[in-house]
Amino acid sequence: MNTPRSTCSALFIAIACALSAAQGAGAAAPAKPNILLILSDDHGYADVGFHGCKDIPTPHLDRLAREGVMFSNGYVSHPFCSPTRAGLMTGRYQQRFGHENNPYYDPADPKEGLPISERLLPEFLGQAGYTTGWVGKWHLGAAPQFRPENRGFAETFGFIGGGHRYINWQVNAKVEYTVPIERNGKAEEVTEHLTTVLGREAAAFVQRHPSDPWFLYLAFNAPHTPHEPTEERLARFAAIENMTRRKYAAQVSLMDDAIGETLDAVRGTGQERRTLVFFFSDNGGPISVNGSSNAPLRGAKGDVYDGGVRVPFVVKWPERLTAGRTYDQPVSSLDVFATALGVAGAAMPADRKYDSVNLIPYLTGEKTGAPHDQLFWRTTRKLWAARLGDSKLVRQAGKSDELYNLQSDIGEKTDLRAAQSQEAARLAATLEAWDKELVPPAFAGLIGRENSPKAKKAKNE
């Protein structure tokens, strides 16, 4: 039977329109962005140019802030190293699964590390089609089951412990600060300053992957002690009289250059617009230990005052985010998890409680209000804190609660508990309800070995 010409024409047009629409939809579908997560270590709140630092130039970080979004209330989930990293990698308060201490470095200990019951961000991103890489410091357990190559990272380069020498070390696999630098699990000789090497490795990872989406976790140990800058870099800061801060400044400067090399690689390979970059420190600076400054904040690393947990924090994504802005609502390092999964087109897992929020809709204006109604902190040193809006409650065992308004009192100088007893009680009840959701520490860590020579030496890690 012959089909009428008009029917054929209509059918042809319909098919052509359908194909055109399908092709158009395919062309409009955004490519998955790369995700670059940069972490500094024991970096003071005041010690970046975009927070007004005068004696330590950080041109590459300042450019990142100018081209991205700077967070005036950027927090980490814990005031010292390893627990913050555990929360960062899982999107959950680390006390929910007992990672509340720095693990004791022991490759034979099956408990001292991020519990394998938790799934890490690179596992989910790998399933979403990302090439995953880690460069730098690990500090989430030394036994085989805890290592990065067994937690979702396809390409690895760095050291497994909680800290490392920077130059002129003799490799000793039994001593945490001199363990081998490893590439994909195999020891590799390093002869240059470690910070410079980490920047070069990160840049090389970017250059190896110019097309398919990637996730790179670049975790510096700078400017954590020991201070071992190059002589050339130390000489640049001869005007700083305090020798501890002079060495710290040189360490920060070396790290800034390494970050610059990584960002240059992103630019040079044509990936800048489609790369989402995070930068922040793992906790506040320890001040007397490494010469850092957290001004105008109160406290330091280890404290639950803002000096211990409020950090320099920047996000950049030229494809989606307007540059040169400051975002004032509180955000958390926990939010990297949900944000990364969101931009990767991967669903948030629903098998347990997560504390992470996708920040992108808030930064683009799709969502209004605050990403978090409340933020919490707890340490095994018997310190607690809760922030609800501008109010913050600080609790220390054996002492009366303290209440501060961070909008009017960023330095937490004026205790309002007596004058605002109802507000203090509201925050205390919220903090206690959160605390009941948590579990005891899963491993003793360095805290559980306080009298050992190693723990005394590593007290400030």
Please give the positions annotated as active site.
81, 139
In angstroms, the CA 329 to CA 308 distance is: 18
How many CB atoms are located within 10 Å of the residue 4 CB? 8
Which DSSP category does 435 fall into? H
Transcribe 329-358 into DSSP letters: S-EETTHHHHHHHHHTTPPPP-SS------
Whether the Cβ atoms of residue 352 and residue 92 lie closer than 8 Å to each other: yes
Tell me the C-alpha to C-alpha distance, in Å, between residue 425 and each of 401, 402, 419, 429: 9, 11, 12, 6
User: What residues form DSSP beta bridges with 157?
Assistant: 135, 183
If we measure between CA atoms, which residue out of 214, 234, 187 comes closest to residue 56?
234
Exposure letters 178-190 (e unless 16+ CB within 10 A, then b): ebebbeeeeeeeb
> 379 in helix, strand or coil?
strand
3-state secondary structure of 361: helix
- Residue 258 CA, chain-centre distance (Å), reads 17
Are the CB atoms for 273 and 319 separated by under 8 Å? yes
**CB-CB neighbours of 79 under 10 Å:** 28
Q: Can you give the length of the chain in residues?
A: 461
Backbone angles phi, psi at 47, to 5 degrees: -95, 45
Residues 6 or more apart whose Cβ sits within 8 Å of residue 345:
32, 128
Helices (H) and strands (E) in the chain, counts: 12, 16
Cα–Cα dist 359/367, whole Å = 9
The answer to whether 310 and 43 are in contact (CB under 8 A) is no
* 8 A C-beta contact, residue 278 and residue 76: no
